Amino acid sequence: MKAVQPASSPAPAPRSVTVLGSTGSVGTQTIELLMADPDRFQVRALAAGRNAGLLARQAIALRAEIAVVSDESAYSALRDALTGTGIEAAAGPDAVVAAASMQADWTMAAITGAAGLASTLAAIRRGAFVALANKEALVCAGDVMLQAVRQAGATLLPVDSEHNAIFQSLADGNRGAVEKIVLTASGGPFRTASLEDMARATPEMALRHPVWSMGAKISIDSATMMNKGLELIEAARLFGLDETEIEVLVHPQSVIHGMVCYQDGSVLAQLGSPDMRIPIAHALAWPKRMATNSPRLDLAAVARLEFAAPDLIRFPSLRLAREVLQIGGGTPTILNAANEIAVEAFLQKRIGFLSISHISEQVLQKLGTPAADTLDDVIALDELARRAALDLLPNRAEAVRSIQT
């Protein structure tokens, strides 16, 4: 007698996906993961800044429904590259927000800086999974973002390696028993440099991160440790913690990405090779897992794990971040905006490396502690802080023209 074969389960429907910031560092790695498992995902929209050529190639390879550039001057190049493909082309900030508002199961929010605020908020308001790589969204508009998450029933999935590590280490659900969390930092290219050496640092030197491969803005933030300061603020928002419950440790091997310390003395840590594809893949497949070709962690080869408290004299940006987290209101918005202007000025060699944090601190002192209760408040305060930072740059008129272009 022939055995009856059990009916096979139908294949799950593909997860519909939108990627905001698809041509940046996090975006391109997200695209790589999508291309590695195309049957598992259906790409609805891809959005980028001005790299129309790469965006068009991504959209064609993934058969996206629409591709959008925020820079309208790049529209004709995008349109021409997509002619005959059936993929819609669009341009402008409003078109990016419209793409973020399209129905999708999962959205990668990876547009760097405050420029990604509106599109990230639009994705959140759809109530789906939002993988958050744009830490500035929670830094400068944390209350607005979290209120939108609650109202829409959205799920934020942290993509930063440190926040993703904490998210994974909290998987047992015992958040009420958390004593503190620990965010690790590589220390960047100037971890052991003197203040004198840092004062002479060039953009080329600051961009040479010893461990991670990242975009220019994040690389400079890592060199000043402002990146860790912004992550500290984001962690407080994401996990509902006070500033005193978040510790930062310099860990140059970048093997342990985050730790959760519980009241019973247990410490849960997430480890992995320093490869952003790992946290991206975790968020992309959550609550399941997916395969990556990331290098596997070899602890025997690493051999040694080092930790140290950060030096707040050489890296005052971390101190500033703790201060604004304690003060609250609109001060995180001010810090983020002033830092973005200062970083761009440094990349253009208009100011020295140590002036980045100095300008941010001066703008904070000048603008005080205003409220930022609505998105309009945040946008207005962001613009005010940018103007205040520009006022501190040498040859302001020329600096404004250069940064705006």
**Whether the bond into 316 is cis, omega within 30 of 0:** no
Order of all β-strands in the sheet with 267-271: 246-250, 178-185, 256-262, 267-271
Residues listed for the chain: 405
Answer yes or no: pTM beyond 0.85: yes
* Phi, psi values for residue 245, rounded to 5°: -95, 10
Q: Is residue 402 over pLDDT 60? A: no
397 pLDDT higher than 70: no
Residue 187 one-letter amino acid: G
Secondary structure string (H, E, C) spanning 195-207: HHHHHCCCHHHHC
Work out the pLDDT band at 3, boundaries 50, 70, 90: very low
Question: Quick one: how far is CA 155 from the chain centroid?
Answer: 16
- Alpha-helical regions (H) of 274-374: 277-285, 299-302, 316-327, 331-347, 355-367
User: Distances in Å between the alpha carbon of 18 and those of 45, 108, 122, 187, 395?
Assistant: 5, 6, 12, 33, 41
- Residue 258's DSSP bridge partners are 183, 270
3-state SS class at 257: strand
Of 38-47, 173-182, 246-255, 265-274, give the lowest mean pLDDT range. Answer: 173-182
Q: So what's the pLDDT on residue 217?
A: 87
15-158 fold: Rossmann fold (3.40.50)
- Cα–Cα distances (Å) from 140 to 53, 84, 144, in that order, read 31, 41, 9
pLDDT per residue as tens digits for the range 42-79 = 999 999 999 999 999 999 999 999 999 999 999 999 99
pLDDT of 335-361, one tens digit each?
999 999 999 999 999 999 999 999 999
Q: Which of the four pLDDT bands, split at 50, 70 and 90, describes residue 1?
A: very low
CB 360 within 8 A of CB 340: no
Q: How far is CA 127 from CA 46, 97, 153, 306, 400, in A?
A: 19, 15, 5, 41, 38
Two structure tokens written together for 216:
């220019």
